Each structure stands twice: as structure tokens, then as C-alpha cells.
Chain A
Amino acid sequence: MITDGILNIIWGIVKGPLGSVPDLNINYDGLSNSSVYQYLRAALYLFPMDTVQSIFAVTATLWVLRMVIAFLRSLWASLPIV
């Protein structure tokens, strides 16, 4: 109910400009057949990508954690009793 209201407001603002945005598509076949793409894949094949993915995931989680801590700290700082 409440979230619907907020989403409706945001969506009402965004909907108009979004309609004028052209469809943005990238042709996957064309991209994957390009030489640069294939050489990049060949280079990345040497990397342990599961480890890289895990590290990215941990990093992203830590970002979220820091954002939450920062939000809570700012919430705390905004209280008049502090």
C-alpha cells in the first residue's frame, strides 16, 4: 500500500521520459563473433573466475554492510538526544 504509493509517484515521473527513450539493444551474435571479444575470453580463461566471482561477491557485500552501518550512524547522529 505505502510502497505502492511511492512506486506510483516515481513511476509516474519516470514513465514519460522512459517512453521517449529508444529501445537499446546489443546484438549478442555480432558481439560474440568479434575478435576482441574472443581474445578477451581467451585471456580470462586463464583466470580462476569462480574465485574472482567470489571476491566480487564479498566486496559487494562489504559495500552493502558499510552502507548500512553508515546509514545507521547517520540516523543515530540525527537524533536530537545525541
Chain B
Amino acid sequence: MRKACLRRVLCYACCLSLVLGVFAYRPAKAEAVFVSPLAALGASLIASVVVGTTATFFVESGAADDIGDAIDFLLEEYISVMDELMGYTPQEICEIVGSGATLEDGAIRLSSRAGKLTAGFINWLQNVKGLSADDSSFDISVPGDYLVSQPYASLGFDPIPAEFAGYDICISYRLYYGDYSFVVGSSDCVYVVDGYPSNGHAFLASDVFCSFGTNYIRWFESTVGWASDANKPLINTGMHPACYVRYNPSPTVPGADVYACIPVWTNFNVYKEDDLGNRELFWLGEGCEVDAAVPMEAVTLSPNERLTSIPNVLPDQSSLLIGLPVSGLDLSDQQGAADMLMGAINAGTLSPSVTIEGQATDIPGTGTDDDTVIAVPGADADLLDWTKYIGQKVASIPKAIGQSVAEAVAAAFSPDPKLVNEITGAFSAKFGFVETLKHVGDDMFGMTAASEPPVVWIHLEDAEGRYDYGGTVKALDMSWYQRYKEDMDRILGGFLWIAYLWLLIKRAPDIISGAGMTLAESNYIDDFQMVSGQKILARRSKKLR
């Protein structure tokens, strides 16, 4: 009896744990940050307004060619802080800012929510990164930890082979990591004259995001250059091609980013391209293998770099209107407009203005009601303020306790994403037919009046025999029904719902009582038995008599 009881308790504990695990499990956040042009543009413009019209941005290693690079770097850092502080994922932030930003004639308008996030960016620039409105330049400190190794690979064409005469020479750059491979970038194609590139030099630069599973890897920079110096190979790789790698083994843990060099194979593909853009692979070259034995170094933000609150710079029910004194903007082409504005910022010819439209009352908060900032009253505050303050703090205790309990439950019951990935990956690999079944389900159950009507084809060309029966012909074309389908679906759906609800009502007592799918009943007392001395259950009858 005790054994049975123990077994039951163990069974319940396992079930409960797995159920809690299911609810507590949160898939690892995707760490790749894809900043929409408008989001980057909005932040860039505002930063430009803050620093003045002649803003110059510098990175540690020298002047940035493109202000967008510097702003992107800051924006990415800010997003990671917001992710940590406010619980927004990078994707959510980008979606909020991207969807809340609209280009108007000569202005970009940010919605209240997007404006708050962007305004938070200003505050962060000012208070955390130390940027003031009087500054004409601003040093951005780029961590040097990315550079861990400098492998060097070179291709020696001096001069460029004669086959390229009359063609462009192009080079692309491919990285390999485990089973993954991808082209990082391609050089400018350069016309070859007398065995040398017509412009004397060309550069390949790439700055791409790559994602392996839940871990986030980014190549910051790779360069291929043509050197015109006769003492050097005509084509060589300019810099450490594959080692600007950021690897985060545990994306769910803030500050756990590890900057490391992981083994990556590289090679260079050399193409020749004719005037029509037809490309032919000329040489597939092996590159270098990056040294795997490189020490990892953790990078974390220092406490004073953490954002503690978002300023009350933008009231609710208002929008941020940034005036853009640039003529000729094609608003239908957002990417083109963004490029044009970015170019104007780079050239220092843009002097945008910022105005707030809508309610002018200052409302504390950070974008949602839950994030209201409570200011601590000063020394001259009256007792009522203190009472309110204490009352608010006391009222927040249950919420804090709830959050603590939720975090503890999540920590205890949330399964390791790596283990979940391993299990799901193993099952996906073994049972690939599930994906096919999903396709089949979509095919069968996803048909609507708007979708393509099914057509049954007969392939007569496949028929065996000495006669030619023709090609593929339609056996049944359901397109005739498409015009009626929407109305007929409504009519048939109505009847189906009536019939189903009627059956449901008939079964309502069973559903409410949690009865099984089948019921047994009997008119014979022998078919009943006593259980626990209290209950009478029909156990032996398997069919209706």
C-alpha cells in the first residue's frame, strides 16, 4: 500500500515537474540584431541633432568612414542594455522603432513608443556615454577584445593572368565553420588593363551578421585589397580575414558574451566577369585556418555603464517629428532615402530639427504603464508625499515576491535550451517526414477562397507503350468552384458548427466531469464492483448490452 502510494506520488511529481518545465521553458532569445534602416536612421538623426550639425564620430582605431557604422555600434550596444534592463528583445526594439518610424515629406516621424525608445537612446548617449550637446566630436570606445588573432592569407597574382584581359576581376570571400559556409563579401569588380587593375586598388570590406543556432557570431571586418606596390603580391588579403568573431555560448545570461576566435576556414574565389555581368569561376583558392587555441576573454559592462532609467523626454499621445531639410527624397524608396540622408549626415550638410507634436504634459514613464518611474521625494517634501511613496513601495512588494517566485520556478524547472535543442535536433533528423506531413497539412487544410484551386494532372507522357498519348493534361480543374467557395464555406461552416455544437451539448456532462472517451454501462449488478469501499464503478463491462 505504501509502495503504491509512493509510486503515485513519484508519478505526480514527475508529471508536475514536466508540466512546470513546459510552462517555464522559454526558447533562447535570438541574438542577431538586424537594425532596420529607418531605426538606425532615426537614432542617427537624433544623435546628429544632439551633437550639432558638424558632428564627427571617431572609433578608437581611427576616423570612421561612415557615421552609420559608429551609430550602429552605439545602437547595438544600447539595444543590448535595453534588452537587459527592460526585457525588450533586440527584435522587439527594432520592430517598435522600425514600425513606429514613418517618412513624411521632409520629416521623419516617430510614434510615441518609438520616440521614447529613441529618446532613451539620446539620454543614454548623454548620461552614460558622456556626450553633450556642446560636443562637436565624440569618441566611441570600441572594445579591442575582438581582435584575438591575425591570420594572413595571400593570393599571388603578379601580374593578373592573361585570361583576364578584357574582363573584370572579382574576388569573393567564403568562410567555413563546421558544416556552415557562407560568402562574407565580394570585392568591387575591377577592369583589368595590361595585367593590372585599372584603378590600381580595390577593397573588399564586409560587416555581416551570421547566426549559428542560438549563439550569435559576428564578423566585424574583413578586407581584401589590391596593392599597387610591385614588391607585394598584386592581390592580397589586407587584414586578419576571419577572426573578428563574437561567440556567446549562453545568450540568456546577460554579460556572458565571450569574445573568442573559433576555428574557421576561409578561402577566396576569384572570378572573371564580362561586360554583361556573366561570371565565371577562375580560381578556387584555399585560404587559411584560424588558430583554434586562442584564449577566450569575457567582456562585461561596468556598473556605471548600466542605464538606470529612461528619461521623461517624450509625453504619451505625442510624436517626435524630425525635420529633414533635404530635397529630392524619394519616399517610396525607404532604403534609398535612408542612404541619401545618411550621406548628408556624413557630409555634415544636414541640420535636422526636432519637435514634439501632441500633448505637452510631462508624463513619467518609460513607454508602458508598468515601467513608471517613481521619484524619491526630496528633503522638503511633506509627509503626504512620503506616505504615498511608502504606500507605492509596499504595494509593489507582492509584485516583487511574485517575480521572485516566478524566477525561482523558472530556474528550477526550465530545461536547458542546449539539451532541448539536442533532443529536438535528434528527433528532427530522424523523423524528417514530420516536415513533409506539415506540408501535407498545409496543402490539405490551408485551402481558402484566395488560394490557388487544386488541379489534378495526368502525365500521359509517362505512359508506357508504343503510342504517343501526348503530354500533361488536366484531369480535374477546381477553379470553377473558386468563385463560389467563399459563400459556400460560410453556409457549410454554419451547418457544421450547428451539428458540432449539438453533439457538444449532448456530451457536456462528460466533459465537465472529466469522463473518458468511452463509457460502459450495464443492467447487471455483477458488472459493478466496489472501489475503496465507497465508489461503484463499471469496470468490467466493455460494451453495451
Residues of A within 8 A of B (CB): 1-4, 6-8, 11, 15, 18, 21, 23-28, 31-32, 35, 37-42, 44-53, 55, 58, 62, 65-73, 75, 77-78
List 26 A-B pairs, Cβ < 8 Å: A2-B413, A3-B412, A4-B416, A7-B21, A7-B419, A11-B419, A15-B426, A24-B432, A25-B432, A31-B440, A39-B476, A40-B444, A41-B447, A44-B444, A45-B447, A45-B478, A45-B485, A50-B448, A50-B489, A51-B497, A55-B496, A58-B504, A65-B511, A66-B516, A69-B513, A78-B5
CB A31 to nearest CB in B, in angstroms, measures 7
Contact, CB under 8 Å: B415 / A42: no
User: Residue of B at shortest CB range from A41?
Assistant: B454
Q: Which of A8, A11, A44, A48 contacts B492 (CB 8 A)?
A: A48
The answer to whether the Cβ of B505 comes within 8 Å of any Cβ in the partner chain is no
Cα distance, A44 to B442, chains bound together (Å):
12
For residue A22, give the distance in angstroms from its CB to the closest CB of chain B.
Answer: 8
Chain A proximity of B462: nearest CB distance (Å): 10
B500 at the interface (CB under 8 A from A): yes
Chain B residues near A48 (CB-CB < 8 A): 488-490, 492-493, 496
Number of A-B contacts (CB under 8 A): 145
Is B20 on the interface with A (CB-CB < 8 A)? yes
CB-CB < 8 A to A8: which residues of B?
A: 419
Complex CA gap A65/B357 in Å reads 50
User: When each residue 419-461 of chain B gets 1 if its CB lies under 8 Å from chain A and 0 otherwise, what string results?
Assistant: 1101100110111110011011001111110000111111000
Q: What are the nearest 8 A-B pairs in CB distance?
A: A69-B514, A3-B21, A51-B493, A48-B489, A70-B514, A48-B493, A25-B432, A41-B454
Nearest-neighbor residue (CB-CB) of B508 within chain A = A62
* B512 interfacial contact with A, CB 8 Å: yes
Q: Does B17 contact A (CB under 8 A)?
A: yes
Cβ contact within 8 Å between B426 and A50: no
**Contacts A11-B423, A18-B430, A45-B481 given: A73-B514 contact, CB under 8 Å?**
yes
Is A45's CB under 8 angstroms from B454's CB? yes
Return the chain B residue nearest A30 by Cβ.
Answer: B436
Interface residues of B (CB under 8 A from A): 5, 8, 12, 14-15, 17-18, 20-21, 24-25, 411-416, 419-420, 422-423, 426-427, 429-433, 436-437, 439-440, 443-448, 453-458, 476, 478, 481, 485, 488-490, 492-493, 496-497, 500, 504, 510-516, 532
Which of A3, A49, A50, A75 is the one whose CB lies under 8 Å from B17?
A: A3
B420 cross-chain contacts in A, Cβ below 8 A = 7
What's the least CB distance linking A72 to chain B, in Å? 8
Contact among A4, A35, A65, A75 for B415, CB-based, below 8 A = A4
From residue A16, how far is it (CB to closest CB) to chain B in Å?
11
Contact residues of B: prevailing secondary structure:
helix
CA separation between A6 and B511, bound complex, in Å?
31
Partner pick for A28 among B24, B436, B496, CB 8 A cutoff:
B436
Q: Which B residues are in CB contact (< 8 Å) with A67?
A: 514
Q: If the complex has contacts A45-B485, A49-B445, are A35 and B419 also in contact, measured as CB distance less than 8 A?
A: no
Alpha-carbon separation in the docked complex, A62 to B14 (Å): 24
How far, in Å, is B450 (CB) from chain A's closest CB? 11
A6 touching B18 by the CB < 8 A rule? yes
Residues in chain A near residue B478, CB distance under 8 A: 42, 45
Question: How far, in whole Å, are A62 and B508 apart by their CA atoms in the complex?
Answer: 10
**Are B511 and A21 touching (Cβ within 8 A)?**
no
B9 to chain A, nearest CB (A): 9
B445 and A53 form a contact (CB under 8 A): yes
In the complex, what's the smallest C-beta–C-beta distance from A71 to chain B, in angstroms?
Answer: 8
Give A67's nearest chain B residue, CB to CB.
B514
Contacts of A2 in B (CB 8 A): 17, 21, 412-413
Q: Within the assembled complex, what's the spacing in Å between the Cα atoms of A30 and B489?
A: 30
**Which of B431, B457, B488, B493 has the most chain A CB atoms inside 10 A of its CB?**
B493
Docked-complex contact A25 and B436, CB < 8 angstroms: yes
Out of B8, B24, B492, B513, name the residue touching A47 (CB < 8 Å). B492
Tell me the minimal C-beta distance from A68 to chain B in angstroms. Answer: 8
Identity of the chain A residue whose Cβ is nearest the Cβ of B534 in the assembled complex: A82
Query: In the complex the two chains form, is A21's CB within 8 Å of B430's CB?
Result: yes
For residue A40, which residues in chain B have a CB less than 8 angstroms away from its CB? Answer: 444
A52→B441 CA distance, assembly (Å): 13
The CA of A53 and the CA of B512, in the complex, are separated in Å by 23
Alpha-carbon separation in the docked complex, A52 to B457 (Å): 27
Q: A3-B413, A51-B493 are in contact. Are A26 and B436 (CB under 8 A)?
A: yes
CB pair A35–B458 under 8 Å, yes or no, is yes
- Which residues in B have their C-beta under 8 angstroms from that of A35? 456, 458
User: A66 to chain B: which residues have CB within 8 Å?
Assistant: 510-511, 514-516
